[in-house]
Amino acid sequence: MDNRPIGVFDSGLGGLTAVKALRRLLPGEDLIYFGDTARVPYGGRSRETLLKYARQDIAFLRSFDLKAVLIACGTVTSTSLDTLRKENDLPVLGVVEPSCREALAVTKNKKIGMIATLASARSGAYERTLKGLDADVQVVSQPCPLFVPLVENGRFRQGDVVIETVAREYLTPLIEAGVDTLILGCTHYPLLKDIIGEICGPGVTLIDSGAASARALRQQLAAEGQLTDRQQGETRFYVSDRPEDFEKLAAVFLEEPLSRGAEQEKLPVMISVRGEQYFDDVDPNATELMTEGTLEQTEDGFLLSYQETELTGMEGTLTTFEIGPGRVILRRSGSVNSQMVFEEGRQHTSLYETPYGELSVDIQTSRLLHNLTERGGLMEIKYSIAVEHVVTGRNCFKIRVRRK
């Protein structure tokens, strides 16, 4: 028995096909879902980029103590499963093999169609797996690069002429080839099940890769004695971009409102903070802190947070930089409480609460620049501190952020 949560990820909404099935099959399990909505679609990207994204997705999920990871993404499974398995000391499951096994169990004429993203089709993973399981099978593959962007934009309903026209064009060669089974090899595609089913007709059985992977995970957890003994679990949703858009479509898709809203993911990062203090013209007094923290994307910038340590003399303090266009607010809370506002060429009064009492200081910023993206970057802030109009020191922050 293992009550830890299961981590599930995809580039966006698609992995919810696995979540929906997991909630039905294993209602007691806690799930942590991550949708990389800031970078969807994954389907046209290179193997190197996909591996990098997938490593970051897993690093985020593993900031929770998980018992297993389900890669609910055909594209990541097709290109990166073996490497990710080697790199992680917990069970990592994908969608390719479970879908292939289910397809082989239902096909009668051994002609199996497979639709997926460009990267999945290019990798040949589905064909290799199908032929590895049954050398006599005939596989007809068709990449459908427009499906994911259309689904992410909510165009998955029957009667939508755009999606229906695109689907007809992609599916016609498969129907002409006479397949009797069609693997929906991208987890977004089960959202188009009704449209695809109508075009293909009743003679073609559709295989839902998300649901197939959920069934495989249940089997594996049961075999390892790792199922929970809880009756009712909960699902937490994280995304790398605006939660609102995801929440709306996720609720439609899961056919139930999310019990709690989606949260913006906090990216685990390594932060090096060099603080320099100049008094007159003597050499600067510098402290350098290397620590783990988080980077969060906000409406107009970033939120960078880390815990101070003994090294800076502020142990027990959480430092947060709120980085917006042309302005950075530094907040400290805990053993030291303060707020400083930096804007190049401007002065702001800040209040310091120290163990010895409150102190009001003027912060004059002479330089503020950063090139942060969600991948990390640099930030530099030069400022002087004045107490009652007397400059008491000049300071500089040099902060380097790197994604873990």
Catalytic-residue membership of 73: yes
Nearer to ligand DGL, 145 or 197 (CB): 145
Piece in contact with ligand DGL (CB under 6 A), picked from 5-13, 331-339, 354-362, 364-372: 5-13
Nearer to ligand DGL, 122 or 188 (CB): 188
Burial of 258 (0-12, 13-18, 19+ CB in 10 A): middle
Alpha helices in 30-178 (DSSP H): 47-61, 74-87, 96-106, 118-123, 125-133, 147-152, 161-176
Nearer to ligand DGL, 209 or 365 (CB): 209
Nearer to ligand DGL, 195 or 271 (CB): 195
Min dist CB 331 to ligand DGL, Å, is 36
Q: How far is CA 363 from the centre of its chain?
A: 37
Piece in contact with ligand DGL (CB under 6 A), picked from 7-15, 18-26, 230-238, 306-314: 7-15
Min dist CB 254 to ligand DGL, Å, is 15
**254 backbone φψ class: left, alpha, beta (φ>0; ψ -120 to 50):** alpha
Out of 73, 100, 144, 200, the active site residue is 73
Which one-letter DSSP state was computed for residue 265? P
Nearer to ligand DGL, 73 or 385 (CB): 73
Q: Is 187 in the site for ligand DGL (CB under 6 A)?
A: yes
Catalytic-residue membership of 186: yes
Min dist CB 133 to ligand DGL, Å, is 20
Are 38 and 246 within 8 A, CB to CB?
A: no
Are 133 and 126 within 8 A, CB to CB?
A: no
Among 37, 56, 75, 141, binds ligand DGL (CB under 6 A): 75
Both structure tokens of 375: 């991948």
Q: Is 117 in the site for ligand DGL (CB under 6 A)?
A: yes
Q: Is 74 in the site for ligand DGL (CB under 6 A)?
A: yes
**CA-derived radius of gyration, the chain:** 26
Residue 334 CA to residue 306 CA, distance in Å, equals: 12
Q: Is 139 in the site for ligand DGL (CB under 6 A)?
A: no
Nearer to ligand DGL, 5 or 43 (CB): 43
* φ and ψ of 366, to 5 deg: -100, -20
138-143 and 205-208 as β-strands: parallel, antiparallel, unpaired? unpaired
Q: Is 94 in the site for ligand DGL (CB under 6 A)?
A: no
Piece in contact with ligand DGL (CB under 6 A), picked from 60-68, 69-77, 279-287, 322-330: 69-77
- Site string (37-56) toward ligand DGL, x via CB under 6 A: ---xxxx-------------
User: Which residue is associated with the tokens 């693997």?
Assistant: 183
| Residues contacting ligand DGL: total by CB under 6 A | 17
* φ and ψ of 261, to 5 deg: -65, 165
CB atoms within 10 A of CB 367: 12
Q: Work out whether the CA dihedral 249, 252, 257, 258 comes out positive or negative.
A: negative
Q: Which residues bind ligand DGL (CB under 6 A)?
A: 10-12, 14, 40-43, 73-75, 117, 120, 148, 186-188
Residues labelled catalytic: 73, 186
